[in-house]
Amino acid sequence: MTEGSTHSMALPLIGAMESAAKAAGLIVLSTQAGSDFHGEPTTSFTFGLNTDTSVERRLRLELSHTFNFHQPSLLPEMTSYLREAALRLRNPRPDCYVTQAGLPIRFDSFAWPFHRSTSGADTYLVHGTAHLEDGTASPLHAKIAASMTVTFADIVPAPEQPYAEAFIYNAVRKTLDQGQMEMIKSGNRQPVMVTTRYYSRWRKKFVFTDTDDESRMDFLALKLYWLSGVLGGGQPLWIADSTDAQYLNTGVAQLSEAAAGLAREGLAQLTSDAQFAAASPRLMERADHYHAILAEALALTKPAFNEEMRQGHTNM
């Protein structure tokens, strides 16, 4: 299905993407011509697992108009991205994530691909929004301007969504964990700096947060409580998500082990293939605990100097 007009130059990209999506178990629901921050043409794809067009089970992918991912350095990661998307779309809310500090958030409105800064800074930028998604229709959100330096850009295979989405989402989560971004009702874009501090050149991998077995189980329990129990109506979630594994500086096998550990404690209900898990009634009984963690995490995102300035306690 095609919506809008697409320049003839996009036809090779559309054909290649339809084939790649089919191989990953996805259906291209629509394609649409668009433009990036500087007005250069892009092509947007909307994927689903089937003809179900519910917004919650869609993936939107926007690529530069003439992007060619059929290159040895690009094809494997695109293939992996689409295969994982097919698994993530089985989540009740595939656009939602949790932070280690305890915030359930939803990412949307990211304007891919990266664009060069117009302020004269030697950086690439991508804009998007992170919303607090706690089941109360909260208005709290953060408008984001995520940037990476030109030096860091050399690490990334391409400045396109499939090659950068995971580390951008994880940099946002890390920034929230550190209390360096505020969840507010309105406001300007807040910076998220992605630098080589988030990347180990000798290990050739991203590094965000060191974790152990216990902290990974805590994280997964938090994820199951919010994304399965509160937002998902008890539906199961995909466990071995590589975006979470990157965020926690671990492997997908360790995430599966954490899920098995939660199941042994009666806090998770695994599917027969152990790929997915749902929040158990016992886990949902801990609502007060997770709402207290949420309140602490939100408090962390409110810089103390803001409160002092609001009360007139400033030397400015």
Q: What is the pLDDT of residues 130-165, one digit of tens each?
A: 999 999 999 999 999 999 988 888 889 999 999 999
For residue 306, pLDDT over 50 is answered with no
CA distance 291 to 279: 16
- Name the pTM for this structure: 0.91
For residue 225, pLDDT over 60 is answered with yes
What b/e readout covers 263-289, taking b as 16+ CB neighbours within 10 angstroms?
eeeebbbbeeeebbbbbbeebbebeee
Amino acid letter, 316: M
Q: What pLDDT is stored for residue 230 in this prediction?
A: 98
Domain segments of the chain as ranges: 1-89, 213-300
Is 136 exposed, middle or buried (CB count within 10 Å of its CB: 0-12, 13-18, 19+)?
Answer: exposed
pLDDT digits (tens, 9 = 90+) for 167-224: 999 999 999 999 999 999 988 999 999 888 888 888 888 999 999 999 999 999 999 9
- The angle at the Cα of 253, spanning 294 to 110, to the nearest 5 degrees, equals 50
Tokens of 79: 């293939």
Q: Roughly how many angstroms between the first and final C-alpha of the chain, as a whole number? A: 57
Candidates 1.10.10, 2.10.25, 2.60.40, 1.10.3470; CATH matching 213-300: 1.10.10
Q: What pLDDT is stored for residue 51 in this prediction?
A: 65
Amino acid letter, 228: S
